[in-house]
Amino acid sequence: MSNITSKQATLWKQYSETRNNAIKEKLILEYSPLIKYVAGRLSIYFGNNVEYEDLLSYGVFGLIDAIEKFDISKGVKFETYASLRIRGSIIDSVRKLDWVPRTLRQKSKEIEKAYLELEAKLGRSPLDSEVADKLGMDINSFHKVVNEVNLSHLISLDEFLEQNYETHVDAFHDSHLGNPTNYAEVNEIKNLLADAIDKLSEKEKTVVTLYYFEELTLKEISAIMQVSESRVSQLHSKAVTRLRSKLKKHKSILYEDG
């Protein structure tokens, strides 16, 4: 493991040899900041639907699971492995709350279609009010649906990662990066994504930059932009929906292995 402290190395050695619960508790405390970070990142998807403190409690189970299943001898960075487990635990717990409507996939398609059609007609990115009007919704209902749809995107992505992380990661490095065709497709997608991001509103662009490139949490972004966390979540939701609608025609490239 790289970037591991001597204290962490000692704890891992002791735990791998003894599986002692007291040592496990020390490891949980040692890596507990990971839960706050992952929960802080995921909270941008949930808006006011799930309390941050609840996300933290859900994440604890993921960290415990990661510690129990982690094999230090494989040389994998624990933080990377644990972050995936924590993320999965939080999303699974939220899914069990069953507050997400089952019709979200269809709503997602309708919203993306509306964005595409209006942009083609207007020659610019449509306003929220214009999309809402096309969908026959008032603006508040539209914002609520966009937030819900964004969560469905998160759950779909998590399922994809869960299915592909352990079984496909080696194959990806062996075949995808060495394949000139796939390399060209990845570059094409990067260019398309950069262009799509450039066409977002300034506030949406700021949220995307701070979240995906600076990897900040919802709370940190809220402080920087000096707007409420719910407003940041709403801006993120709209940005993701706009980006998905622009890139939808390239779905075969983006998700050919999913």
What pLDDT sits at residue 161? 46
In a domain, 14, yes or no: yes
Residue 167 has pLDDT above 50, yes or no: no
In a domain, 104, yes or no: no
What pLDDT sits at residue 205? 93
Q: Of 34, 69, 99, which residue constitutes the final position of a domain?
A: 99
- Three-point CA angle 211, 213, 216, nearest 5°: 40
User: Over the stretch 62-99, which tens digit does the pLDDT of each residue have?
Assistant: 999 999 999 888 888 999 999 999 999 998 888 777 65
Clarify whether residues 91 and 140 are in a common domain: no
In a domain, 163, yes or no: yes
Higher-scoring residue by pLDDT: 179, 145: 145
Tokens of 237: 């939701």
In a domain, 123, yes or no: yes
Of the pLDDT bands very low, low, confident and very high (cuts 50, 70, 90), residue 182 is: low
Q: Of 99, 127, 157, which residue constitutes the final position of a domain?
A: 99
Residue 216 has pLDDT above 80, yes or no: yes
Clarify whether residues 148 and 227 are in a common domain: yes
What pLDDT sits at residue 124? 84
Looking at mean pLDDT, say which of 2-11, 142-151, 179-188, 248-257 comes out highest.
2-11
Clarify whether residues 64 and 174 are in a common domain: no
Range of the domain at 76: 1-99
Higher-scoring residue by pLDDT: 123, 68: 68
CATH of the domain at 6: 1.10.1740.10
CA 44 to chain centre: 9
Of the pLDDT bands very low, low, confident and very high (cuts 50, 70, 90), residue 169 is: very low
Q: Of 54, 77, 99, which residue constitutes the final position of a domain?
A: 99
Q: What is the pTM of this model?
A: 0.68
Mean pLDDT of the chain: 80
In a domain, 29, yes or no: yes
Residue 180 has pLDDT above 70, yes or no: no
Clarify whether residues 85 and 133 are in a common domain: no
In a domain, 125, yes or no: yes
User: Over the stretch 3-53, which tens digit does the pLDDT of each residue have?
Assistant: 788 999 999 999 999 999 999 999 999 999 999 999 999 888 876 778 889
What pLDDT sits at residue 153? 63
What pLDDT sits at residue 21? 94
Clarify whether residues 157 and 247 are in a common domain: yes
Clarify whether residues 32 and 86 are in a common domain: yes
Clarify whether residues 68 and 129 are in a common domain: no
Number of domains present in the structure of the chain? 2
CATH of the domain at 213: 1.10.10.10
In a domain, 105, yes or no: no
Residue 168 has pLDDT above 70, yes or no: no
In a domain, 108, yes or no: no
Clarify whether residues 76 and 119 are in a common domain: no
Question: How many residues make up the chain in this entry?
Answer: 258
- Percent of the chain at pLDDT above 90? 39
SS3 of the chain: the string is CCCCCHHHHHHHHHHHHHCCHHHHHHHHHHHHHHHHHHHHHHHHHHCCCCCHHHHHHHHHHHHHHHHHHCCHHHCCCHHHHHHHHHHHHHHHHHHHHCCCCCCHHHHHHHHHHHHHHHHHHHCCCCCHHHHHHHCCCCHHHHHHHHHHHHHHHHHHHHHHHHHHHHHHHHHHHHHHCCCHHHHHHHHHHHHHHHHHHHCCCHHHHHHHHHHHHCCCCHHHHHHHHCCCHHHHHHHHHHHHHHHHHHHHHHHHHHCCCC
Higher-scoring residue by pLDDT: 187, 73: 73
Clarify whether residues 133 and 165 are in a common domain: yes
- Percent of the chain at pLDDT above 70? 76
Clarify whether residues 149 and 210 are in a common domain: yes
Clarify whether residues 163 and 74 are in a common domain: no
Clarify whether residues 117 and 91 are in a common domain: no
Higher-scoring residue by pLDDT: 194, 219: 219
